[in-house]
Amino acid sequence: MQIRDFDVDLFLREYWQKRPLLIRNPWNAWRNPLDPDELAGLACEEDVESRLVTRYAGGLAMESGPLAEDRFSKLNGSWTLLVQAVDHHSPEVAGLIEPFRFVPDWRIDDVMVSYATDGGGVGPHFDQYDVFLVQGLGQRRWRVGPRCDAATPLLPHDDLRLIVDFEATGDWILEPGDILYVPPCFAHDGVAVGDDCMTYSIGFRAPSRAELVEGWCEHQVDGLGDEDRYADPDLPIQSNPGEIAAPAIDRLHAMVMEALSDRDAFARWFGLHNSLPKYAETDWRPEEAVDTQEVRGLLAQGVPLSRNPASRFSFIRQGEQVILLFVDGHCFDCAGDLAGLAEKLCAGSSLVVDPGLSASAEVIGLIAALIDQGSLAFDEGD
């Protein structure tokens, strides 16, 4: 599905991470990509993250999946089902990401899908990430409030971060195909208007400073030797032995900063860290290592390659000739033909490799490695 008449430059300049925006059905032809029964089926599976939020007289209650198959037949009143990473299981839902790829892929998290009965919702809350809320089926009333932060009062609840005093600054009813963009930390509350309400939440991630510092420091510590210690061969006599003198602090601080200041090493670590898959799914991983001769033959025939929708692909340029390709927590140094191939692998969900590259041992080796780790597969049809 394609979005028409959407000014990306204007959106990024005026709205992205600045203020909410309602976009009335901009699709060429909107079609709900997932049946409610399919969503319910996913919520019953062991390897799928799901939540059920029910409304009762005293407020909201949440239970985590997997849900029993007969759970839905026992529900009464208002309730909401939320299922994470549905794009990993449905190509049609994964297709919803494509129009929003003006945001770099490394920022994409997943597509969460919710289904709600009349009055269903998760209450007024705020998130730490950008989200495009696409109304798929039925109607939902969205109210958006001011920006929140860690000091915003929350209701006492074990599972849900609900805002105590929610005052809406915007109030809209979304019809199928409508989109509401909500920046990070803006309060919002969605309530189903009527039954059979489905919403697709295309979420983006942003690492926190704490997460980056912790991960990068831990990575660097693993590579430091025990003999790399503080030294002061030019130690002077101090007037007071109890003082930690400024030259010592300078030297200690320099030891730490030098260990963390290698930008190229940080780039490689971040590529690995950021490409780790959200869930440890192995459905695409073959039971045995792929035969390189078979790979060569399929490439020569022009058989397309498809990316595992659960996989994360990205690359970083290292100089003019080398590209570091990151796929599902693995790094591949790519130069020459491999550099061009790496860029194409990151550009879209499928690729036909130039048959002329089928004679390249490096190309065969890279594709075979990605197939073996479950990130790629040949699309041979039936």
72-86, 93-107, 156-170, 338-352: segment of lowest average pLDDT: 156-170
- Please name the residue that has the structure tokens 């997460």: 211
Q: What is the mean pLDDT of residues 62-68?
A: 95
Residue 180, both tokens:
């509401």
Confidence of residue 276 (pLDDT cuts 50, 70, 90): very high
Residue 87 confidence (pLDDT): 96
Which of 3-7, 282-286, 289-293 shows the lowest per-residue confidence on average (mean pLDDT)?
Answer: 282-286
pLDDT of residue 329: 96
What does the pLDDT read at residue 382? 56
Which pLDDT band holds residue 280 (cuts at 50, 70, 90)? Answer: confident
pLDDT for position 299: 95
Beta strands at 131-147 and 186-204: parallel, antiparallel or unpaired: antiparallel
Q: What is the pLDDT of residue 283?
A: 79
Domains and CATH numbers, the chain: 8-204 (2.60.120.650), 208-227+254-274 (no CATH), 292-378 (3.40.366.30)
For the chain, report the end-to-end CA distance as a whole number of angstroms.
Answer: 25
Pseudo-torsion of CA 307, 309, 311, 315, nearest 10°? 60
The residue among 131, 123, 122 whose CA lies nearest residue 51 is 122
Poorest-pLDDT segment among 48-52, 161-165, 279-283, 323-327: 279-283
173-190 pLDDT tens trace: 999 999 999 999 999 999
pLDDT at 159: 79
Binning pLDDT at 50, 70 and 90, where does residue 363 land?
Answer: very high
pLDDT one-digit tens code per residue, 227-264: 999 999 999 999 999 999 999 999 999 999 999 999 99
Q: What mean pLDDT do residues 303-323 have?
A: 94
The pLDDT of residue 5: 85
182 φ, ψ to 5°?
-125, 120
pLDDT for residue 344 is more than 90 = yes
Cβ 193 vs Cβ 139: under 8 Å = yes
pLDDT at 92: 96
Average pLDDT on 60-74 reads: 93
Q: In this model, does residue 137 exceed pLDDT 70? A: yes
pLDDT at 161 over 90: no
Q: What is the pLDDT of residues 41-64, one digit of tens each?
A: 999 999 999 999 998 887 899 999
pLDDT of amino acid 119 = 96
Confirm if 31 and 187 have CB atoms less than 8 A apart. no
pLDDT range class, residue 282, cuts 50, 70, 90: low
- Mean pLDDT across 59-84: 93
CB atoms within 10 A of CB 91: 11
